[in-house]
Structure 1
Amino acid sequence: MTDPALRVENLSKSFGALKASNDISLDLRPGEIHALIGPNGAGKSTLIKQISGSLKPDTGRIEALGRDITALDTVARARLGLGRTFQISSLAMEFSVLQNVVLGALGARGKAYGLFRNVMKDKALLTTAQEALKRVGLQEAAQQRTSDLSHGQRRQLEVAVALTLKPRLFLMDEPMAGLGASGSKDLTAFLDSLRQEAPILLVEHDMDAVFALADRISVLVYGEVIATGSADEIRNNPEVRRAYLGEEDLA
Structure 2
Amino acid sequence: MTEVQRSEQVLKVSNLSKSFGALQASKNISLDLRAGEIHALIGPNGAGKSTLIKQISGELRPDSGSISLLGQPVDELDRVARARMGLGRTFQISALAMEFTVLQNAVLGALGARGGVFRFLGNVMKDKALVAQAEHALDRVGLSNEAARRTADLSHGQRRQLEVAVALTMAPKLFLMDEPMAGLGAGGSQALTGFLDQLRQEAPILLVEHDMDAVFALADRISALVYGEVIATGTTDEIRNHPEVRRAYLGEEEAV
Q: Please tell me the TM-score bracket, short chain as reference.
A: over 0.9
Could you tell me how far 1:180 is from its partner in structure 2? 0.7
User: Are 2:50 and 1:45 aligned?
Assistant: yes
Give the alignment's Cα RMSD to 1 decimal.
1.4
* Correspondent of 1:104 among 101, 106, 109: 109
Could you tell me how far 1:215 is from its partner in structure 2? 0.0
Distance 2:18 2:200 in 1: 29
* Correspondent of 1:183 among 184, 188, 197: 188
Aligned length: 251
When residues 61 and 246 of structure 1 are mapped into structure 2, their CA distance, relative to the original with a 3 A threshold, is same
Could you tell me how far 1:26 is from its partner in structure 2? 0.4
Query: What letter is aligned with 1:239?
Result: E
User: Are 2:16 and 1:11 aligned?
Assistant: yes
Could you tell me how far 1:244 is from its partner in structure 2? 1.5
Q: 2:81 — aligned with what?
A: 76
Distance 2:42 2:254 in 1: 13
* Correspondent of 2:137 among 125, 132, 146: 132
Contact 2:108–2:118 (CA under 8 A) maintained in structure 1: no
When residues 247 and 172 of structure 1 are mapped into structure 2, their CA distance, relative to the original with a 3 A threshold, is closer
Could you tell me how far 1:249 is from its partner in structure 2? 3.7
Q: 1:242 — aligned with what?
A: 247
Could you tell me how far 1:122 is from its partner in structure 2? 1.3
Q: Percent identity?
A: 76
SS in 2 for 1:250: coil
Could you tell me how far 1:245 is from its partner in structure 2? 5.2
Q: 2:204 — aligned with what?
A: 199
Query: What letter is aligned with 2:235?
Result: S
Could you tell me how far 1:250 is from its partner in structure 2? 2.4
Q: 1:228 — aligned with what?
A: 233
Distance 1:149 1:123 in 2: 25
Q: 1:168 — aligned with what?
A: 173
Could you tell me how far 1:227 is from its partner in structure 2? 0.5
TM-score (norm 2): 0.95
Distance 1:213 1:64 in 2: 22
Distance 1:246 1:9 in 2: 31
Structure 1, gaps ≥5 residues long: none
Query: What letter is aligned with 1:130?
Result: E
Query: What letter is aligned with 2:249?
Result: Y
SS in 2 for 1:5: strand
Q: In terms of mean alpha carbon deviation, does 135-144 or 105-114 score higher? A: 105-114
Distance 1:113 1:16 in 2: 37
SS in 1 for 2:9: coil
Q: 2:218 — aligned with what?
A: 213
SS in 1 for 2:24: strand
Structure 2, gaps ≥5 residues long: none
Distance 2:40 2:223 in 1: 6
TM-score (norm 1): 0.97
Q: 2:60 — aligned with what?
A: 55
When residues 113 and 103 of structure 1 are mapped into structure 2, their CA distance, relative to the original with a 3 A threshold, is closer
